[in-house]
Every structure is written in C-alpha cells, then in structure tokens.
A and B are shown apart, each in its own frame.
Chain A
Amino acid sequence: MEECLRGILYISESCLSGQTVVNDVAKLIDASRRKNAAMDITGALVFTGERFAQYIEGPVLAMASLLASLECDERHRQMVVHFDHRYQERKFMGWSLAYHGPSLYIARHVEGIVSSSGHAREQHVNRMLRLLKGLSDETIDNEHSTNSGTSAEQSS
C-alpha cells in the first residue's frame, strides 16, 4: 500500500509586528523552506499581515512533528486547524510563500474560514485551497509569459 499522507490547513494570528516584519517574514520563508524540504512536507503559506493561513501535507509522522513545533512557535498564536485529511496523492509539489501583501480579498477569504463553521467553513476552506494552489503555481519556464507578475519583471 502507498504511503499515507496527511494534509492540514490551519489559520493563526501573527505575533510579528512593526519594524521587523519584513525581515522576520524573509527569515521565516527561508527556514520553512529548508525544514519542510528536509521533512518531505509541501504546501503553501499566506500571510495577510494579521493572520497566517497555511496548508501543509506530508508523511503522517513528519506532519505530527511539524505540527508539534508549529504549536509552540512564538511567531503566531491561536492556531486553529480547519482541515485535516488523509490522502495518497499530494496536492502541492513544493512549499512556497503563496502570498504576502496588502490584498483584502485574501484577508476576507481567511476571515471567511475563521468566522464560519460546518458546511460553510468547508466551502471557504476549499476556496482557500484553490487560492493557495493558484497563487503558488508557477511554471518553471515563464520566459515568454507575462503572468508571473512581479513588479520587477514588468518594468524590465
């Protein structure tokens, strides 16, 4: 039988503040990328400035260990798991920061999950997963496409 994977979506409140946020986020991305790659965990993170929403998936044991360390991570608090499923196949091939920016659209999607329950919450979670997937998907060869969209590329 195939190895079983566990996929989790959680939302938490950020404890990062003020002046050092940009620095802290850069450090967090760098550390998470290394750690997750080493543990064979993939997924995507969204940071709205107020909240983190993260989907992570990987081998059951590795996930338990990552969750334990996330729960005592002082960079966030009030961590609530809104989705917890077992799969055979991955949804994400790598781990990335899917979005960090001013968008209230993204923030509203995150709030939608936090403030709902039952079937409504499931729908919000599904939309969030599609958002995470869409925002983190990028083809490697984007030489000729213009939709990989960073301000740096647009003006070069």
Chain B
Amino acid sequence: MSFTAQIASEHPVAYIIDDDDDFRRSLVLLLESAGWRVQGYPLANGFLHEQIKLKPGPLLLDLRMPGTSGLDMLEAGLIDTRRFPTVVITGHGEIESAVRSLKAGACDFLEKPFPAQDVIKSLESGLAVLRSANHPDGRHAGNFDAVGRLTRREAEVLRGLMAGLAYKVIAFRLGISARTVEMHREKLLRKLKVSNNAEAVRIAVLAGVEPMPK
C-alpha cells in the first residue's frame, strides 16, 4: 500500500512501545475496538529495527523502559518522528519530562492513567500531523520534507531567521562568520525551493521547527 493510501485508509495504523505487557495488550485491544490496527512492541529495539519498513503512523512511546528509554530514543533522534508522530506516555507526569519530550520532537505527552478518549484524540492528532505533512496546501508538500534534509548548520540558520535575528547575531551565536551564514542561507533557500526568508520561515513554522531563542 502506498503511503498516501495508508494514511487515508479507514483503519489507520498505530504503534506502541511499552515494556508493561498487561498495559500494552489492553491498550492494543482498546485501540483495535476503536478501529485502529495496532502493532505492539515490548522493547524499543524491535521497533527501531523495523521502523524503516513500517507504514507511517502515530507511535505511543513509554517514557521509562529498561534499556533504552523512550526519551533517550527521542533525544538521540532514533525515531523518525515525521513518519511516526510520537505520543510519549508516562506514569510519572512531571512537567520537565513533558518539556523534554516535546522539545525532542514528540507531538504529544500523556500521563497514565488516561481516559480512553484522550489516547485516541492524541493518536488522531498524530494522524493529522502525518496528513498535513503530506497534503499541507499542496504547494509546500515537497519542501516540508526538505526541512528534514537540511544540514545541522542550515537548520540552525533557519531557526535564526525564524527568530528574526540579524545575520551578524546568528553568526555570533553559531561561532561562524556572517559570510558563512549568508552562504548557508542561500543553500537552505535553494533546498526549500523558495526565493526569500519569509517563505522559508513559513515552511519552517509548518514543519514545527522551533525558532532560535532571542
């Protein structure tokens, strides 16, 4: 099935990584009864090995697990959150964990125990993220992906532009010359297929890039 067919299908796919067998199984049953097709993983590794060939879909990720924790995986960039919009779940809902999860690219954060409708709503909003990534307004569909292909430096410069910072300030922050900033800027505009900073910033906002702090 093609990517588009998958996310448009009536029974969307979701994934769960949680080492708590009872919790995972009951969540699978709950979601299946709500019309989702769900694949559960007791260990992060199982998912990580397969993710490249899995169909895109929202992922429920346990924050704390023996071995590689959900937060570790996110912060290390091991999960392709553009294909698997990630909802972090935890039994310990500290604000700090929520902040770290969202900053690491999670699309939502859920505290156990949660009512059934909350997890379904979060998965639906994850699905909406997938859909908008593929059909934003048609025009930026391709360059949304292009944001993910920027180099680290280009992405940093883009975040600087979002913050409305002068090239000199961005240069200072990154410890490079203003000339180099200008060079990265030109490259990123080309990659995003836009002709000016405002257009680049609009795509960056759409892609969920955070502006550089002022």
Contacts and interface: CB of A to CB of B under 8 A. Distances in A.
Interface residues of A, number: 42
Interface stretch (A29-37, A72-80, A110-118): A29-37
Nearest to B74: A149
Interface in A94-122: 94-97, 99-106
A36 B98 CA distance: 27
Contact of A136 (B104, B159, B202, B213): B213
B148 interface: yes
A17 interface: no
Contacts of A147: 75, 100, 103-104
A151 B128 contact: no
A2 interface: no
A104 B121 contact: yes
B155 A30 contact: no
Given A99-B102, A102-B126, A131-B98, A146 B75 contact: yes
B208 A33 contact: no
Contacts of B128: 102
B162 interface: yes
Interface string A12-38: 000000010011011001100110010
A102 B77 CA distance: 20
B44 interface: no
A136 B181 CA distance: 24
Interface string B180-212: 000000000000000000100110111111111
Contacts of A30: 164, 201
B213 A22 contact: no
A150 B148 CA distance: 9
A22 B206 contact: yes
Contacts of B137: 19
Nearest to B88: A105
A140 interface: yes
A146 B101 CA distance: 12
B102 to A, nearest CB: 6
B178 interface: no
Nearest to A20: B137
B205 A100 contact: yes
Interface stretch (B34-42, B61-69, B106-114): B106-114
A122 to B, nearest CB: 16
A68 interface: no
Contact of A104 (B77, B118, B214): B118
Given A26-B198, A101-B102, A102-B129, A150 B118 contact: no
Contacts of A90: none
Cβ-closest 7 pairs across A and B = A134-B99, A154-B77, A152-B155, A94-B214, A149-B104, A105-B109, A149-B103
18 contacts: A19-B137, A22-B136, A26-B201, A33-B163, A96-B214, A101-B107, A102-B108, A105-B98, A134-B99, A147-B103, A149-B103, A152-B148, A152-B150, A153-B77, A153-B155, A153-B156, A154-B81, A156-B149
